[in-house]
Amino acid sequence: MLCPRFQRLSGSLLRYGRRRVTSLLLGVVLAGAAGAAFELERMRQTALQRYGAAAAEAVDGWRAAMAGWRELPEAEQLQRVNEFFNRRIRFADDPVVWGQPDYWATPLETLARGSGDCEDFVFAKYFSLRELGVADSRLRMTYVRARVGGPASSVSQAHMVLGYYAEPGGMPLVLDNLVSSIKPASARPDLAPVFSFNMQGVFVGSSEQASSPVDRVSRWRELLLRMRLEGYVP
């Protein structure tokens, strides 16, 4: 299932040029967190206090898995993280999980609830890979238009995936909660990138040049603030 509530946002982005797109993205960018890490025991205690023993066990499972992946090659880390969340987390829209039309959940919240929508999968994978030491420059959280109904279909829906760039300007690999295997973007003609972002800035379409960060309160900044309260240390 895709993330239909992003239809209006993505439709607006596609109708505007680069300069207008940049202004529309003011609410998305970006507080820096170079060298950030999780205080894992603090996360566990937060999960236990807020959500109960089952949530703490979910964090324990993630923590144990991460410990076993730290020395793996980066390509294997991608596979393990992608499989972990695709198997452990059930897709559900924000109104179902959080009772809100649009909520960006922290990785702890996603683990605790065991449910999330497309961007919650992406955030959990992104921050897990950053914790494992994958460089921020290699990762982008990417809004796409996803074609549905087959190759001849003209119907598309808004969706979010995680892109991994082994080399600057190279073909990204796509980590998608809807597809079990990691594929290069060239093998995903059903996805058309709208914009992507990481700690470095916003990238419009498939551009390699990030726009300038904007110092403004945003859902992204709020997400980072909530993560800090849970044990994420930038």
Pairing outcome for strands 90-91 and 115-116: parallel
Domain span at 67: 4-226
pLDDT at 207 (0 to 100): 66
**pLDDT 10s digit of each residue in the chain, 234 long?**
667 555 444 444 444 445 544 444 444 444 444 456 789 899 999 999 999 999 999 999 999 999 999 999 999 999 999 999 999 999 999 999 999 999 999 999 999 999 999 999 999 999 999 999 999 999 999 999 999 877 778 888 999 999 999 998 899 999 999 999 999 999 999 999 998 888 888 887 666 666 645 334 378 889 999 999 999 876
- Domain of 110, CATH number, reads 3.10.620.30
What is the Cα–Cα distance from 223 to 135, expressed in whole angstroms? 20
State residue 208's pLDDT score.
Answer: 67
180 is a domain residue: yes
Count of domains observed in the chain: 1
User: Is residue 115 included in any domain, yes or no?
Assistant: yes
Rounded Cα distance, 82 and 78, in Å: 6
Q: Does a structural domain hold residue 234?
A: no
Residue 23 lies in a domain: yes
Residue 18 tokens read as 């680069």
Indicate whether 233 belongs to any domain. Answer: no
pLDDT at 25: 47
Confidence (pLDDT) at 211: 63
The single residue listed with the structure tokens 């760039």 is 165
The answer to whether residue 231 sits within a structural domain is no
In a domain, 127, yes or no: yes
State residue 178's pLDDT score.
93
Residue 158 lies in a domain: yes
